[in-house]
Amino acid sequence: MSSEIFHFRKQAVQDTWTHRTVLLNEAVEALHIKPGEHYIDATFGRGGHARLILSKLAAGGSLTAFDKDLDAVAEAGTITDPRFSIRHEGFSRLAALVPRSAAGLLMDLGISSPQVDNPARGFSFRSDGPLDMRMDTTRGQSVAQWLEDASIDSMTEVIRDYGEERFASQIAKAIDLRRSLHGPLRGTAELAQVVASAVKTREPGKDPATRTFQAFRIFINAELQELQEALAASLDVLQPQGRLVVISFHSLEDRIVKQFIAEHSREVFDRRAPFAAPRAMRLNALGRVKPSDAEVAANPRSRSAIMRIAERTGALT
């Protein structure tokens, strides 16, 4: 299928590409802002959290943001506040920042509504578009490119592990059959149709392609690996008593965040050296927050969000 088949009434569609920041006030309150300190918004998105953080900073405060998405970087360019800077990088690059330089670090792991709603990005099965799904369209393979040569076993593993899809094998075989009969898949509608043909049952109200699209997006952007790297880097970049605030939107992300905070919220003893001092706690877990009923009613996409909060201890180990 040639690329010219994808026609978008761009201006008409763009009018609907609005984004509602999830847990906006709750996340910024959890950072416990100290006006003169430095903060990090590790996932700028459309800047809702960033703008609210900036409004609470004094002249000596500052905010550094990260985002791989060029549209997000362009949106960040509309902020003229000299206390603000944006880096066109994934948040795994937190490790490059000065150690113990931040009083707070926010990670909003959700994909933004403009990314989902813009068919040209290929994230959604609701509108036909190129099968891309890259957060950073200047680097790496698109989903369509990967699917050209991916083996049935590789596709099955990705769909099963990142989509938690029980029909992973059937979907992978259906994609392979589609390729052999009609050539590579190029569009989101094509992929959604292939998945629907292989998924015989689904929860009421959920599209059969939901889990597969999630799986391919997570895989092609190495999202879970980047999250693990960013969490590890947070221990170095945060000051003592610095706050770590992470908003996740599906169980794979939340499990990683939950386990990371739990692991570093206890002393660790080396069984090989029973008389040695334990490794000190590095974090204090401060709990979790979910969107209110009112927020979910106003923004249904927030319903799966979970925000976890932790504080860096005084032990810099």
pLDDT tens track for 16-47: 446 689 999 999 999 999 999 999 999 999 99
User: How much is the pLDDT for 124?
Assistant: 86
- The whole-angstrom separation of Cα 53 and Cα 36 is 12
Residue 186 near residue 144 (C-beta atoms within 8 A):
yes
By residue range, what is the domain housing residue 287? 14-113+223-312
What CATH number is given to the structural domain containing 148?
1.10.150.170
User: How much is the pLDDT for 268?
Assistant: 59
User: How much is the pLDDT for 17?
Assistant: 46
User: How much is the pLDDT for 204?
Assistant: 77
Residues 189 and 101 reside in one and the same domain: no
Residue 283 near residue 248 (C-beta atoms within 8 A):
no
User: How much is the pLDDT for 144?
Assistant: 97
Q: What is the DSSP string of 15-56?
A: TT-----TTHHHHHHHTT--TTSEEEES--TTSHHHHHHHHT
Pick out the chain residues at pLDDT < 50. 1-17
Residues 290 and 164 reside in one and the same domain: no
What CATH number is given to the structural domain containing 109?
3.40.50.150
Residue 120 near residue 129 (C-beta atoms within 8 A):
yes
If one counts the domains in the chain, the total is 2
- The whole-angstrom separation of Cα 289 and Cα 26 is 8
